[in-house]
A and B are shown apart, each in its own frame.
Chain A
Amino acid sequence: MRALTWEGKHDIALKHVHDPTILNPNDAIVRVTTTAICGSDLHLYNGVIPTMEKGDIMGHETMGEVMEVGSLVKNVKVGDKIVIPFDIGCGHCHHCQDEEFSACDNSNPNFVIPEKLYGYSGAGLFGYSHMYGGYAGGQAEFIRVPFVDTNSLVIPPGIDDEKVLFLSDIFPTGYMAAENCNIKPGDTVAVWGAGPVGLMAIKSAFLLGAERVIAIDHFEERLKIAQEIGAETINFKEEDALTEELRFLTGGRGPDSCIDAVGLEAHGNTILNAIDTVKQKTKLGTDRPDALRHAIQACRKGGTVSIPGVYGGFLDKFPFGAAFGKGLTLKMGQTHTQKYMKPLLERILNDEIDPSFVISHRFNLEDGPEAYKNFNEKKDEFIKIVMKMQ
Chain B
Amino acid sequence: MNTSQSPIILESRDKQRGFFSSTNSPLEPEQVYNFCQNKENVEKVLQGLPLDLDNFLELVLDNSKQAGTDQYELRWINKPQSKFEGSLTFYIIGAPANRGSLVTAIADFEKINFKTSKPSTLIEIFLRRMKALMETGEIPTTKGQTSGRKEHLLH
Q: A residues bordering B, Cβ < 8 Å? A: 3, 5, 17-18, 20-21, 23-26, 51, 53, 55-57, 72, 90-94, 97, 105-113, 124, 127, 130-131, 133-137, 144, 146-147
Closest residue to B128 on the A side, CB-wise?
A111
Determine whether the beta carbon of B143 is less than 8 Å from that of A23: yes
Q: Would A137 and B152 be within 8 Å (CB), given that A90-B132, A94-B100 are in contact?
A: no
Residue contact A23 to B153, C-beta cutoff 8 Å: no
Known: A26-B136, A130-B152, A147-B136. A20 touches B141 (CB 8 A): no
> Which residues of B sit under 8 angstroms from A131, Cβ to Cβ?
152
Q: Contacts A97-B26, A106-B135; is A20 near B145 (CB within 8 Å)?
A: yes
Main SS class of interface, A = loop
Among A18, A25, A106, max chain B CB count under 10 A is at A106
Q: How far is the CA of A158 from the CA of B135 in the complex (A)?
A: 36
B142 and A134: CB pair below 8 A?
Answer: yes
Alpha-carbon gap, A17 to B145, bound state (A): 10
Contact of A93 with B135 at beta-carbon distance under 8 Å, contacts A111-B128, A112-B121, A112-B153 already known:
yes
Contacts of A108 in B (CB 8 A): 140
Q: Is the CB of B132 within 8 A of A134?
A: no
A124–B135 CA distance with the chains assembled, in angstroms: 16
Report the separation of the CA atoms of residues A147 and B99 in the bound assembly, to the nearest whole angstrom. 24
List 5 tightest A-B contacts by C-beta distance, closest first.
A136-B147, A112-B153, A106-B132, A24-B138, A92-B135
Do the beta carbons of A135 and B146 come within 8 Å of each other?
no
Contacting A3 at CB < 8 Å: which of B135, B142, B146, B153?
Answer: B146
Quick check: A136 and B137 within 8 Å, CB to CB? no
Interface size on B, residues (CB 8 A): 29
Contacts A53-B149, A56-B147 given; indicate if A135 touches B142 (C-beta within 8 A): yes
Counted as pairs of residues, one from A and one from B, with CB atoms less than 8 Å apart, the total is 104
For residue B24, CB closer than 8 A to chain A, the reply is: yes
Q: 1/0 per residue B114-155: CB within 8 Å of A?
A: 000000010011001001100111111111111111111100
Q: Is the CB of B146 within 8 A of A17?
A: yes
| A residues in contact with B137, CB < 8 Å | 25-26, 72
Q: How far is it, in angstroms, between the C-alpha of A112 and the C-alpha of B140 when the chains are bound? A: 14
Known A90-B135, A134-B152: A112·B125 in contact at CB below 8 Å: yes
Q: How far is the CB of A109 from chain B (nearest CB, A)?
A: 5
The residues of B that contact A23 with a CB separation of less than 8 Å are 141-145
B100 to chain A, nearest CB (A): 7
Closest A residue by C-beta to B142: A134
Residue contact B138 to A20, C-beta cutoff 8 Å = no
Q: Name the residue on A nearest B137 (C-beta).
A: A72
Which of chain A's residues have a CB closer than 8 A to the CB of B138?
Answer: 24-26, 72
Residues of A within 8 A of B141 (CB): 23-24, 109
Given contacts A106-B132, A112-B121, contact A55 B149 (CB under 8 A): yes
Q: A109-B140, A109-B141 given. 8 additional CB < 8 A pairs?
A: A24-B138, A26-B136, A57-B147, A94-B100, A109-B151, A111-B128, A135-B142, A135-B147
Query: Closest CB of chain B to A370's CB: distance in Å?
Result: 22
Offer 11 A-B interface pairs, CB within 8 angstroms, sorted by A: A17-B146, A23-B142, A51-B152, A72-B138, A90-B140, A93-B136, A94-B24, A108-B140, A110-B151, A113-B153, A144-B145
Nearest CB of chain A from residue B128's CB, rounded to whole Å: 6
A24 close to B140 (CB less than 8 A): yes
Given known contacts A109-B141, A112-B153, A137 and B147 CB-to-CB distance under 8 angstroms: yes
Contact status B135-A18, CB under 8 Å:
no
Beyond A53-B149, A110-B153, A112-B125, is A94–B26 a contact (Cβ under 8 Å)? yes
Q: Are A113 and B152 in contact (CB under 8 A)?
A: yes
**Bound state CA distance, A111 and B149, in angstroms?**
16
A51, A105, A107: most-surrounded residue (chain B CB, <10 A): A105
| Chain A residue with the shortest CB-CB distance to B140 | A109
B142 cross-chain contacts in A, Cβ below 8 A: 23, 109, 133-136
Interchain CA distance A101-B84 in the complex, whole Å: 42
Which A residues lie within 8 Å of B131 (CB)? 105-106
A24-B44 Cα distance, complex, nearest whole Å? 13
Closest-by-CB residue of A relative to B125 is: A112
